[in-house]
Amino acid sequence: MTEDFSRSLERLRRARRVVALTGAGISAESGVPTFRGEGGLWRDYRAEDLATPDAFRRDPELVWEWYDWRRGLIAGCRPNRGHETLALWEGRFESCRVVTQNVDGLHRAAGSRGVICLHGDIWTVRCTGCGFETVDLTAPLPELPPRCRCGGLLRPGVVWFGEALPEKAFEAALEAVSRADVVLVAGTSGLVYPAAGLPAAARSAGTFLVEINLGRTPLSPLMDAILEGPSGQVLAELHDALET
Ligand code: NAD
């Protein structure tokens, strides 16, 4: 057991409110590719070139092909021990809130309630014409790009690079991290703002910050403890240690 692990454990034992700030890395052990790292490319395109309003305006069919591929892939994935541990911890702590940048729905599938989704949900579609929004779990979609009943073009209900985050979700996230005793920052590269600014906000509020990642990130210098390793494994180890 490393010193950082023991200190994190000790903080968790005393914590009443815990927040997990999660990114693509927490779903990697479920088989969902991250944006940065192995398997991050799709047909030679980088995510940053597809997940933008400009890319959609230029070529909605190409962007939808990518989302359709990702939806199909995620449909075959199950939550891993990381998602499961956080869902279990809702019963262990006074509160255990998940704030996620992920759009895959795996926290919800694991049983976490009240997940704050900063970047939307890949299963939601929204009409660019009339604004109608609905959940559509069909994968693959029968027609690309999909159309609304009004004839307008549907878009994925996710937040693209360069778009504003849903205001209420971001405010709720800020409040949650500022009130938490411990914030676990799991599987995020810390490069995508404003989500990557939440650990600094937690730090100003005096929260104990723990990073769980395969390697170091630009957020690492802010951390009180760093637990290196796959997040599913590390979270399960923390859980087991808390139980003994
Ligand atoms: P990212 O792809 O930029 O970075 C992934 C991070 O996870 C890296 O720091 C990497 O070291 C780490 N990582 C990889 N495997 C890990 C593991 N098993 N355990 C712990 N850490 C691991 O992801 P990001 O920081 O979340 O930001 C990119 C954007 O991509 C976000 O907006 C997010 O919405 C979106 N995204 C979401 C999904 C998803 O919903 N599953 C997948 C890819 C990208």
Task: Indicate which CATH number applies to the domain containing 104.
Answer: 3.40.50.1220
The pTM of the full predicted model, rounded to 2 decimals, is 0.96
Same domain, 145 and 177: no
In a domain, 55, yes or no: yes
In a domain, 42, yes or no: no
- Residue of minimum CA distance from atom 32 in ligand 1: 101
In which band, very low, low, confident or very high, does the pLDDT at 82 lie, cut at 50, 70 and 90? Answer: very high
Is-contact 198 177, C-beta < 8 A?
yes
In which band, very low, low, confident or very high, does the pLDDT at 42 lie, cut at 50, 70 and 90? Answer: confident
Same domain, 133 and 19: no
**Which atom of ligand 1 approaches the CA of 189 most closely?**
9
Q: How far apart are the C-alpha atoms of 86 and 83, rounded to whole Å?
A: 5
**Which atom of ligand 1 approaches the CA of 192 most closely?**
27
Same domain, 69 and 9: no
In which band, very low, low, confident or very high, does the pLDDT at 92 lie, cut at 50, 70 and 90? Answer: very high
Lowest mean pLDDT among 9-18, 30-39, 58-67: 30-39
For 73, the token pair is 């892939």
156-195 residue pLDDT tens: 999 999 999 999 999 999 999 999 999 999 999 999 999 9
Return the CATH number at 152: 3.30.1600.10
In a domain, 36, yes or no: no
Mean pLDDT within 226-233: 98
Task: Give the model's pLDDT for residue 195.
Answer: 96
Task: Give the model's pLDDT for residue 38.
Answer: 73
Same domain, 114 and 190: yes
| Average pLDDT score over the chain | 96
In a domain, 87, yes or no: yes
Query: Structural domain of residue 217, as residue ranges?
Result: 3-31+79-119+165-243
150 CA distance to ligand 1 centroid (A)?
A: 35
Same domain, 176 and 211: yes
Please say if the pLDDT value at position 41 is more than 80. Answer: no
Total of domains in the chain: 2
Short-list 114, 89, 119, CA closest to 182:
89
149 CA distance to ligand 1 centroid (A)?
A: 34
Same domain, 97 and 202: yes
Instruction: Give the residue with greater pLDDT, 121 vs 1.
Output: 121
Same domain, 205 and 101: yes
130 CA distance to ligand 1 centroid (A)?
A: 32
114-173 residue pLDDT tens: 899 999 999 999 999 999 999 999 999 999 999 999 999 999 999 999 999 999 999 999
Cis amide linkage into residue 140, ω under 30° from 0: yes
Q: How far apart are the C-alpha atoms of 30 and 187, rounded to whole Å?
A: 13
Told to judge if 239 belongs to the known catalytic residues of this protein, a careful annotator would answer no
In which band, very low, low, confident or very high, does the pLDDT at 237 lie, cut at 50, 70 and 90? Answer: very high
Same domain, 27 and 140: no
In a domain, 37, yes or no: no
Task: Give the model's pLDDT for residue 162.
Answer: 93
Strand locations in 91-231 (E): 95-100, 116-117, 120-127, 133-135, 154-158, 182-186, 208-213, 225-228
In a domain, 39, yes or no: no
Mutate which of 34, 185, 188, 213 for ligand 1? The one with the most ligand atoms within 8 Å of its CB, which is: 34
- Residue of minimum CA distance from atom 13 in ligand 1: 25
Please say if the pLDDT value at position 84 is more than 90. Answer: yes
